[in-house]
Amino acid sequence: MLLSLKIENFVLIDRLELELYAGLNILTGETGAGKSIVLDALDAALGGKVSVRMLRTGTSRANIEATFSTNQAIAQWLETQEIDALDPETLICSREITARSNRTRINGVVVNKQQIQELRDRLVEITAQGQTILLSQSAQQREWLDNFGNQALLSQRQKVAKLFEIKERSRKALFERQQNKRNRLQHLDMLRYQLKELEAANLDDPDELENIEGDRNRLAHSVELQKQGYAVYEALYQNDGGNACADLLGQAELILGEMVTLDREAEGILELVTSALAQVEEAGRQINTYANRLESDPEQLETIEQRINQIKQICRKYGTLPEAIAYTEKLHNELAELTDQSISIEDLERKAEADLHALYKSCKKLTDFRKQAAIALEQAQINALKMLAMEKVRFQVGIYAIEPTALGSDRIVFEFSPNLGEVLQPLAETASGGEMSRFLLALKTCFVNQKTQEIDQLEPSHTKVGTMVFDEIDAGVSGRVAQAIATQLWQLSRSSQVLCVTHQPLIAAIADRHFQVSKQVVSDRTQVQIRLLEIEERKQELAQIASGKNVEEGKKQKTKGINPENVNIVGSQAIAFAESLLEQAAEIKANI
């Protein structure tokens, strides 16, 4: 549950710390006092939409921190997200808002939108009268119905989604084959032409172009290379003038041989010269062989030039040589697929039909599950609405067939009749604003009171949460209906913490904790303040809500010449009414 809320520089709030309690927590205050700002701050701390307009005027940074008690499920979720717990009993969700950016943190760790939304669904459920718009949406009604059903329903819905995906794949394969059939001959001609051209080029070595360009350079300069080879041979090995390198090294070797007989220290030098002489002689023999092998071959040179031109022409059309070789393989595979008759169009048609039949069959089973869930939801909702002073209400979950989708083949319509003798009609077309508010509250009550084993497996947004927030869910109702809503809210607060903003004195009186929200001017700045009311202060607040006047107004009006006796009579009557509300609330709690 929500333990505390700290707000700084948010809209009209300078700095505020609010401690909350188990049970039913009520916030009251005049219109515009800032009650919704507090709920907006809680929403922001849990990843809700924010904007720079939410920064308090004159400030550059707003901070909101919501502290919750934790449990084993939350601890396990934190572990999967690799977020350390600050302590075993609490976790902190915070939001920092600036003009340029905003960051959401869980226990000090920056998290993304998906993470904070997952945690939010496990911590808080916020219900406002504006949410009654959702009641008119068939898709949302389907979600509510499915989540009220058991685990078998949800599992079947997953099967439908998978079969729908399979059906779509087979339908797409059939469609593409049908399209290919229309263009198949033309496409085959193009593939065969390209493949013929590439195969004629006989491409298999990605380095062939580089290699044959080397051969071309050698053949094109064979005469020059031969002449240079002979010159090298003469310089190294054989020179008529006796100045060849081998001759000079031979002379040096003879002299060093004589020196060694006189001084053994020259042996190392002799070995080096002997080795050099052997290498020079070998180099001379090899260069001579190389020069003798070189021949001018115009025909071979022309053949190589033609091959180079062929490869370059292929590369201009199909990319580099390695790319052209890879494309050749791709063409072989594509041509094989187009000419493969192992799977015919008739086979694809049969598969598509079988997959569609399997989807219809699975959708039918899902519809049966939904009908069972509809019966249970109808009864639970009617019972909850009767507790909200709608004794003659009729409610039915209409299930109408549509073409199969990933969510089944049903259109769900909540049908409603608040008055005896009136026909059932879609909820959005027949319910008033107050009736919609009560319907939404009753629906939430159905989920909270659901005791089946499967509820622990429902989607997070519809499982039991630690805190339920209601923002003026009682708008548009009064009298006996307000009393019924008060009773329902208090019952809900026995299993979940409830935080409720209200203008109804009947609802405020039944609270376990009553907070007053007000605006105060401090240092010429308007600030929103919240304080927990003690018993006497509660009476005054309830009196003001009921009569529209605060008993303290008597002192102000006395200074204006108004008869103080008349003021006191109004004040005492309001206080007496407030006391009666508190007594009545105590009786209701005791009876429940």
Average pLDDT of adjacent 10-residue blocks, the chain of 592 residues: 93 90 91 83 90 89 94 90 88 92 92 91 75 74 91 94 95 82 74 86 84 77 77 77 78 86 87 89 84 75 82 87 88 77 77 95 96 94 86 92 95 89 84 77 81 40 66 72 86 88 89 91 84 91 78 48 43 85 88 78
Q: Can you give the pLDDT at residue 478?
A: 67
Instruction: Mark whether 417 and 526 lie in a shared domain.
Output: yes
Q: Can you give the pLDDT at residue 240?
A: 65
> Residue 303: inside a domain, yes or no?
yes
Spatial distance between the Cα atoms of 282 and 465, rounded to a whole number of angstroms: 92
CB of 301 closer than 8 Å to CB of 307: no
pLDDT in tens, 63-117: 999 999 998 889 999 999 999 988 888 999 999 999 888 999 999 999 999 999 9
> Residue 164: inside a domain, yes or no?
no
Spatial distance between the Cα atoms of 551 and 554, rounded to a whole number of angstroms: 6
Q: Can you give the pLDDT at residue 395?
A: 94
> Residue 171: inside a domain, yes or no?
no
Spatial distance between the Cα atoms of 38 and 6, rounded to a whole number of angstroms: 10
H or E element, residue 389: none
Instruction: Mark whether 10 and 80 lie in a shared domain.
Output: yes
Instruction: Mark whether 509 and 586 lie in a shared domain.
Output: no
Q: Return left, alpha or beta for 29; rule: phi > 0 is left, psi -120 to 50 is alpha, else beta.
A: left
Instruction: Mark whether 526 and 580 lie in a shared domain.
Output: no
Instruction: Mark whether 512 and 559 lie in a shared domain.
Output: no
User: Which of 419, 423, 426 is closest to 385 using CA atoms?
Assistant: 419
Q: Can you give the pLDDT at residue 129?
A: 55
Instruction: Mark whether 310 and 218 lie in a shared domain.
Output: yes
Q: Can you give the pLDDT at residue 107?
A: 93
Can you read off the two tokens belonging to residue 111?
């998290």
Spatial distance between the Cα atoms of 45 and 67, rounded to a whole number of angstroms: 10
Q: Can you give the pLDDT at residue 128?
A: 62
User: pTM to 2 decimals?
Assistant: 0.61
Instruction: Mark whether 69 and 36 lie in a shared domain.
Output: yes
Among residues 296, 324, 352, the one where a domain terminates is 324
Report the CATH number that the domain containing residue 44 is assigned in CATH. Answer: 3.40.50.300
Q: Can you give the pLDDT at residue 374?
A: 95
Q: Can you give the pLDDT at residue 360?
A: 96
Among residues 511, 533, 555, the one where a domain terminates is 533
> Residue 371: inside a domain, yes or no?
yes
Instruction: Mark whether 523 and 553 lie in a shared domain.
Output: no
> Residue 343: inside a domain, yes or no?
no
Instruction: Mark whether 141 and 94 lie in a shared domain.
Output: yes
User: Which of 111, 145, 131, 137 is closest to 459 using CA atoms?
Assistant: 145
Q: Can you give the pLDDT at residue 561?
A: 47
Spatial distance between the Cα atoms of 534 and 572, rounded to a whole number of angstroms: 18
> Residue 468: inside a domain, yes or no?
yes
Spatial distance between the Cα atoms of 103 and 97, rounded to a whole number of angstroms: 7
Spatial distance between the Cα atoms of 390 and 385, rounded to a whole number of angstroms: 5
Q: Can you give the pLDDT at residue 494?
A: 85
Cα Rg for the chain, rounded, in angstroms? 45
pLDDT in tens, 233-287: 788 877 666 678 888 888 888 888 888 888 888 889 889 989 988 898 888 888 8
Instruction: Mark whether 399 and 529 lie in a shared domain.
Output: yes
User: Which of 532, 476, 465 is closest to 502 using CA atoms?
Assistant: 476
Instruction: Mark whether 451 and 591 lie in a shared domain.
Output: no
Alpha helices for 451-500 (secondary structure H):
479-492
Instruction: Mark whether 523 and 398 lie in a shared domain.
Output: yes
Q: Can you give the pLDDT at residue 555?
A: 44
User: Which of 510, 520, 515, 517 is closest to 490 using CA atoms?
Assistant: 510
Chain centroid offset of residue 362 CA: 28
Q: Please give the residue range of the domain that contains residue 564.
A: 534-592
Count of domains in the chain?
3
> Residue 178: inside a domain, yes or no?
no
| C-alpha distance from residue 326 to each of 194, 321, 323, 333 (Å) | 13, 9, 5, 11
> Residue 331: inside a domain, yes or no?
no
Reduced to 3 states (helix: H, G, I; strand: E, B; else coil), residue 406 is: coil
Can you read off the two tokens belonging to residue 307?
């091959």
Among residues 272, 305, 324, the one where a domain terminates is 324
Q: Can you give the pLDDT at residue 453?
A: 35
